[in-house]
Amino acid sequence: MLKNAILALILTLAVLDLHAQSFIQSFDAPGELANNFNIYQNTTPPVTNAATGSPYSQGLTGGIAGSGVVNIAAPGTGITPDSTAIYKNTSFNFSAAGDALNISAYVDVIAPTETGNRLLHLGFADSSTSGLNGNAGLSFTGFRLNPTAVGSTIFTPQWQTKTASGSTVNTAGGGNLTLIAGDWYDVSVTFGNLGGGNIQASGFVEDLGVDGLTPGASFSISPVTLTSADIASDSSVWAAFRTFEADGDGGLDNFSAHVVVIPEPGTTVLVGMGLGALLFARRRQPNC
């Protein structure tokens, strides 16, 4: 009976996962960054050290608990610091009301040496070759943490959207966040399609300690409503990150995105029945 109950629960959970879609890049295996991402380099003036190379490189140590990591180069000759990395193997359908997507990454916070760019910018772009910036023709919705002062690890949360024919629109994300230099943080945001071009956005930033494995303080990013007619009708959006070493990023790890599945009432009932059957079967097992 116990075996049958477990099988029933597995089949029920499989129903929940039929429409689930996700990826995670831990950067532990060689070539994860080079093989799975397109790099959009912002060469629109004014840009320093434009059009020569990506600031992102993969290391097999230096990440969570000494695992693989994306290293971010400091500003200098030979790189285009304003670059977006787009995961090119999976797109997501965000075209209908009720669709919801989550994107997250771990970031190793260091003291910024400038304030003009972003500690981290996470979002969904309209193509696998689009950047998360204000260039003409680009379309995206995203979340970013902006440094407030040189040497300070106080960051301002902000939402940003852009349509292909319009300019960027910034929306306040709440009060400033005081982070700890040397700690890893999980930055996770969710976008829900409300219909009519409107998007509900929310998220959190959680301290994971020096090793990236020790949960600490967590900051909630309150829900806001954004507008992006392009992204909110797009059946193929792409997860992307944009980050700057000079603005406080000492490394990036565990980049992921997934469809947020909201179970239908009937499916929820099935899960409850499956769990109930499992508990009943366990109670009927003889003591060992």
Comparing 6-20, 41-55, 216-230, the range with the smallest average pLDDT is 6-20
Cα separation, 178 vs 150, in Å, equals 14
pTM reported for the whole predicted model: 0.84
Whether the per-residue pLDDT at 253 is higher than 90: the answer is yes
pLDDT value at position 264?
Answer: 52
pLDDT value at position 145?
Answer: 98
pLDDT value at position 45?
Answer: 59
Whether the per-residue pLDDT at 43 is higher than 80: the answer is no
Give the HSE-up count for residue 226: Cα atoms under 13 Å, Cβ half-sphere.
32
pLDDT value at position 285?
Answer: 44
Cα separation, 24 vs 186, in Å, equals 14
Q: Amino acid letter at 77?
A: T
pLDDT per residue as tens digits for the range 129-188:
999 999 999 999 999 999 999 999 999 999 999 999 999 999 999 999 999 999 999 999
Q: How is the chain classified by DSSP, letter by letter? A: -HHHHHHHHHHHHHHHTTT--EEEE---STTHHHHHEEEEE--SSS-TT-SS--SEEEESSSSGGG--EEEEPPS-TT--SSEEEEE-S--B---STT-EEEEEEEEEE---S-SSS-SEEEEEESSTT--SS--TT--EEEEEEEE-STT--EEEEEEEEE-TTS--EEEE-SS-EE--TT-EEEEEEEEEEEETTEEEEEEEEEE-TTTS-S---EEEEEEEEEE-TTGGG-S-BEEEEEE-GGGTEEEEEEEEEEE-----HHHHHHHHHHHHHHHHHHHHSPP-
Cβ atoms 156, 118 nearer than 8 A: no
pLDDT value at position 261?
Answer: 84
Question: Does the domain at residues 22-260 carry the CATH identifier 2.60.120.200?
Answer: yes
Instruction: Grade residue 36 by pLDDT with cuts at 50, 70 and 90.
Output: very high
- Who contacts 212 (Cβ-Cβ below 8 Å, separation ≥6)? 63, 64, 65, 106, 108, 184, 253
Instruction: Grade residue 20 by pLDDT with cuts at 50, 70 and 90.
Output: low
pLDDT value at position 46?
Answer: 53
**Mean pLDDT on 83-91:** 97
Q: What are phi and psi of 134, to 5 degrees?
A: -85, 15
Cα separation, 67 vs 28, in Å, equals 6
Q: Amino acid letter at 118?
A: R
Tell me what the pLDDT averaged over the chain comes to.
Answer: 86
Q: What are phi and psi of 88, to 5 degrees?
A: -100, -5
Shortest CA distance to 20 belongs to which of 73, 95, 99? 99
pLDDT value at position 228?
Answer: 92
Instruction: Grade residue 263 by pLDDT with cuts at 50, 70 and 90.
Output: low
